[in-house]
Amino acid sequence: MKDRSTLIIDGKALAAKIRGEVASECAALSGEGRRRPKLCVIIAGDNQASKVYVRNKRKACEDCGIDSVTVELGADVTREELFSVIDKMNSDCEVDGILVQLPLPGGIDEKEIILRISPDKDVDCFHPVNVGRVYTGDPVFLPCTPAGIIELLKFAGVEISGAKCVVVGRSNIVGKPVAALLLSENGTVTVAHSRTKDLKSVTSEADILIAAIGKAKFFTAEYVKPGAAVIDVGMDRDEEGKLCGDVDFDGVFGICGAITPVPGGVGPMTVAMLMKNTLKAYKLHEG
Ligand code: GUN
């Protein structure tokens, strides 16, 4: 029954606040006459969504006072060419962060490309060394989208400690690392996925539901516990081609306690956390 007031968690506002904090720190650094932090973004091929994400990252750097360089490569790029760009950026002591936008064109092994990035410049937190550090509770960088999700929950006043958290999706970028971070925050975490039996019975127990399966408006009211906090990681298109999430927003509004909108929820947080990681990398390199 729709008898509840639902908080819409404003990711755009929170991301702007975090970016503002990064910008203030960067301004203070340049006031001391020090070099600015620098991010290198590598993109290959012409995936339109990736191009939009990369443009947003470049714009965020400009706003924060972080230098950025974008290396654009063709869809026919070879692993050797990618290695060569990454090696150059690894050894450039003015480059603090290196990010290879995924997905890469078919035929390129993404794992070996990520392995080539120096772990101390891996601001995406995709390198196995950094992934391991997250799992052992000793992180240097935090994975951007998962860390953004934790910030959104805290911003909304949602208590993670002791909560039943259900993550639906097990990707290396979102599902697995957000499960690790929720566990670090003392949540009781279940990871569900496409093979999970009776998914509704699993998700409808969740105090915190993380929807990351990439299916437009999949999570209808029957999947959601009344009062739950719902974080929608989806970036999908509805039947009319309009941007929407994995959650049927109108269907669950008035049932859940809090929800992130799409757009304006998780998306802006990913970029804000990337800015934070780039500043962190700068501080590590500058001592
Ligand atoms: N593709 C989709 N999300 C991401 C991300 O957070 N980082 C990179 N590098 N590629 C992505």
pLDDT tens digits, 82-118: 999 999 999 999 999 999 999 999 999 999 999 999 9
pLDDT band at residue 178 using 50, 70 and 90 as cut-offs = very high
pLDDT band at residue 287 using 50, 70 and 90 as cut-offs = confident
Whole-number pLDDT of residue 36: 96
Whole-number pLDDT of residue 141: 98
> Which positions are catalytic?
57, 101, 124
If one compares 1 and 54, the residue with the highest pLDDT of the two is 54
Q: Is the pLDDT of residue 1 over 80?
A: no
Distance 154 CA to ligand 1 centre (A): 23
Distance CA 172, CA 52 (A): 21
| pLDDT tens digits along 40-73 | 999 999 999 999 999 999 999 999 999 999 999 9
Return phi, psi of residue 275, to 5°. Answer: -65, -40
Distances (CA, A) of 266 to 80, 88, 225, 229, 278: 34, 32, 21, 13, 19
pTM for the structure as a whole: 0.97
3-state helix, strand, coil in the chain (%, to 5): 45, 15, 40
What percent of the chain stands above pLDDT 90? 97
* Nearest-atom index, ligand 1, CA of 102: 10
Whole-number pLDDT of residue 102: 97
Q: Is the pLDDT of residue 38 over 90?
A: yes
Mean pLDDT score, 204-233: 98
Whole-number pLDDT of residue 9: 98
Residues flanking ligand 1, CB < 6 Å: 99-102, 124, 144-145, 173, 270
Q: Where in the chain is the domain with CATH 3.40.50.10860?
A: 34-118
* Nearest-atom index, ligand 1, CA of 50: 1
The structural architecture, per CATH, of the domain 143-266 is: 3-Layer(aba) Sandwich (3.40)
Mean pLDDT of the chain: 97
pLDDT band at residue 2 using 50, 70 and 90 as cut-offs = confident
Q: Where in the chain is the domain with CATH 3.40.50.720?
A: 143-266
Reference 279, options 12, 2, 47, 65; nearest CA is 65
Q: Is the pLDDT of residue 176 over 80?
A: yes
Distance CA 74, CA 196 (A): 38
> In 3-state terms, what secondary structure has residue 108?
coil
Distance 101 CA to ligand 1 centre (A): 5
Whole-number pLDDT of residue 265: 98
Q: Is the pLDDT of residue 30 over 90?
A: no
pLDDT band at residue 81 using 50, 70 and 90 as cut-offs = very high
Pick the CATH number of 34-118 from 3.40.50.10860, 3.40.50.1970, 3.40.190.10, 3.20.20.70: 3.40.50.10860
Whole-number pLDDT of residue 4: 84
Give the mutation target among 47, 101, 178 for probing the ligand 1 site: most ligand atoms within 8 A of CB: 101
